[in-house]
Copies of this chain bind each other. A is one copy, B any other.
Amino acid sequence: MASTLTVPRWKTTISNALVEHEKSVVLQLASIDPTTPIPHVRSHIFRAFIAPVTHPSLPLLITTTDIRTPKSSQIISNPHVQIAWWIEGTQEQFRISGLASAIPAPTNSLYKHFLHNVRNAKPTSAVAAFSREDFNWEAKRLEVFKSMSVHMKASWCRPVPGTRLEGGEEEAKKWPVRVEEPGEDADEETRRNWETALGNFALLIVDPTEVDYVELGVVPNRRTRFWKTTDGVWEEEAVVP
């Protein structure tokens, strides 16, 4: 019998697949800009699952973004997202529907939208359960940021992503290539780059509500639909692949 202490089977399945296929961390995240009829989708790197201590049944997905990107404003306007995650090595596809939040620095003006999402989260959501545990999201943001490569950190020091490249390739060559954590004797530029990158860096969390799991590596193929009930536990049924 599923309870709030049961880790959902879809999550265990993904985690097991990643043990064998550790490079399969690229997933595609779709969002809607409510002002246009065009869906948006782009690749993201999956960083981790985290679940509230009291609710292992409610794992969240963590990925990251630059808070200045269009997708940040898209998910603020409409938090409904869907992830397509194809794991080549196991021939499995996970389609994860859920509610997304961008979590920038608390000093960022967009942080208020995350607080709004927390206040309005359903009691059975992971975001609400984390809130009841006084989870420190800023500490998590800093931890994830520090775990990034120096090259990845440098990507958050560029001009606003998607805007016209003023000055062309010559200008782009001036962008920092590495951003290191400043030590006590760090120079001004090192400190400034770290602050800039950390200021633009945001966690992007997805709180799943439904998962469609297709297994193409077995005969006959299998497909399972998982959904979170109003009690906050996961149920599943077999569907036609």
Contacts and interface: CB of A to CB of B under 8 A. Distances in A.
A238 B31 CA distance: 24
Contact of A41 (B95, B158, B239): B95
Contacts of A29: 41
A39 B222 CA distance: 23
A184 B93 CA distance: 39
A179 to B, nearest CB: 14
Contact of A159 (B26, B28, B168, B240): B240
A18 to B, nearest CB: 16
A80 interface: yes
A28 B84 contact: yes
Interface stretch (A1-9, A111-119, A124-132, A169-177): A169-177
A239 to B, nearest CB: 6
A239 B80 contact: no
Given A30-B41, A158-B241, A240-B165, A172 B82 contact: no
B43 A86 contact: yes
B220 A173 contact: yes
A164 B239 contact: yes
A26 B86 contact: yes
B84 A42 contact: yes
Contacts of A173: 220
A38 interface: yes
B93 A43 contact: yes
Interface string A167-203: 0110011010100000000000000000000000000
Given A41-B83, A41-B84, 20 more contacts: A30-B30, A32-B37, A36-B80, A37-B78, A37-B80, A39-B41, A39-B82, A41-B82, A42-B84, A42-B93, A155-B221, A159-B240, A161-B239, A162-B223, A162-B239, A163-B240, A165-B237, A169-B238, A172-B222, A175-B220
6 contacts: A26-B88, A28-B84, A38-B82, A164-B238, A164-B239, A165-B223
Interface of A: 26, 28-32, 34, 36-43, 78, 80-84, 86, 88, 93, 95, 97, 155, 158-165, 168-169, 172-173, 175, 177, 219-223, 237-241
The 3 A-B pairs at the shortest CB distance, nearest first, are namely: A30-B41, A30-B39, A28-B28
